[in-house]
Chain A
Amino acid sequence: MLFSERSIWTMLHGIGLGGAALLGLGAALFYLYAARSPSDSTGPAARSGAFAGITVGTAVTLWLAVIVGTYVIFPPYRATPPPGVSDLSEFPRAMLLAAPGTAWLHAFAMESKEHMPWIASMLTTAVAFVAVRYRSKMLQDPSLRRLSMALLAVAFALVSFVSVMGMFVNKVAPLD
């Protein structure tokens, strides 16, 4: 078999859901940035529907990514090898911690990935709620738009950071 089940879950989590979330966050940020300009010929009402759809879709994608990451991918990653096992390739965390040069990939990279994406999901969900609840008012109200933009920017930075960390971890100790 070309890809193992664990490998497919990892790709779904990182490339599929994580990648889609990054695209959605980028698009949502662009929408809010473009809404700053009053000379935009597209009406706020027309744009607000698309913006609400993007933010809701991104929030759902992020929640799927964190749930799959925490409950499907993390358990085999952190599994403890039985005594006497010398080949640690099936036990990524143990493999990373076994070498001083790669221990940071667990202590820093994976430990960051355990919690930060949940914050990104909360922030994006809040903005999605505002987008659905207020529609065009959100794009026209400077305070709502600015705060939403700030929270989406934080979420984008977080997802980008944990994505890079995930690539590093998966490069050295893949879940095969």
Chain B
Amino acid sequence: MATTGFSMATREVNGSGMAALLAAGIGSMAMGAAVLLNEAGILVAPTLYAPAGGVSGRTTLATIVWLVAWAVLHNRWKAREIAPGRVGALTLILVALGLLGTFPPVWALFG
């Protein structure tokens, strides 16, 4: 990922913020992927709460992916100034793909 190097100055770097925003994109993508893979019968997340059915497993899985991605990115970028253009674009692309995966008419293409 593009960075502008370690900040040696006292000004606040944007790494923590960019990590949070990109992680949200990754979490969105994970949600869409979990739903699509489930609909295609490739990967069925375990049901964690039977009365709620499979949605409990899919949403928990995506939430874990989001939090792990956030922790990893935060740890790597917290002291860096990150070039916002590419990270922003990647975040929006991941969010869009994640939303497509959760949109029921798309499931018919994979089901």
Q: What separation, in Å, do the CA atoms of A20 and B44 have in the docked complex?
A: 34
| Size of A's binding interface in residues, CB under 8 A | 37
Shortest distance between the CB of B92 and any CB in chain A (Å): 6
- Decide: A119 and B55 in contact? CB cutoff 8 A: no
The answer to whether A129 and B20 touch (CB under 8 A), given A112-B103, A118-B31, A123-B28, is yes
Pair B17/A118 contact, Cβ less than 8 Å: no
State in angstroms the CA–CA spacing of A79 and B35 once bound together. 21
Candidates A71, A114, A141, A147; contact of B91 at CB < 8 Å: A147
Answer whether residue A116 sits at the interface, using C-beta atoms and an 8 A cutoff. Answer: yes
Q: How many residues of B contact A (CB 8 A)?
A: 37
Main secondary structure of the interface of A (DSSP, over half): helix
Please give the residue numbers on chain B whose beta carbons come within 8 Å of chain A beta carbons, in ascending order.
12, 14, 16-17, 20-21, 23-24, 27-28, 31-32, 35, 49, 51-53, 55-56, 58-59, 62-63, 66, 70, 84-85, 88, 91-92, 95, 98-99, 102-105
Q: Could you name 14 residue pairs across A and B whose Cβ atoms are closer than 8 Å?
A: A78-B52, A116-B102, A118-B31, A119-B27, A119-B28, A122-B66, A123-B95, A125-B24, A129-B20, A133-B17, A134-B14, A134-B17, A150-B92, A154-B99
Q: Taking beta carbons and an 8 Å cutoff, which residues of A are in contact with B? A: 66, 70-71, 74-75, 78-79, 107-108, 111-112, 114-116, 118-119, 122-123, 125-127, 129-130, 133-134, 137-138, 141, 143-144, 146-148, 150-151, 154, 158
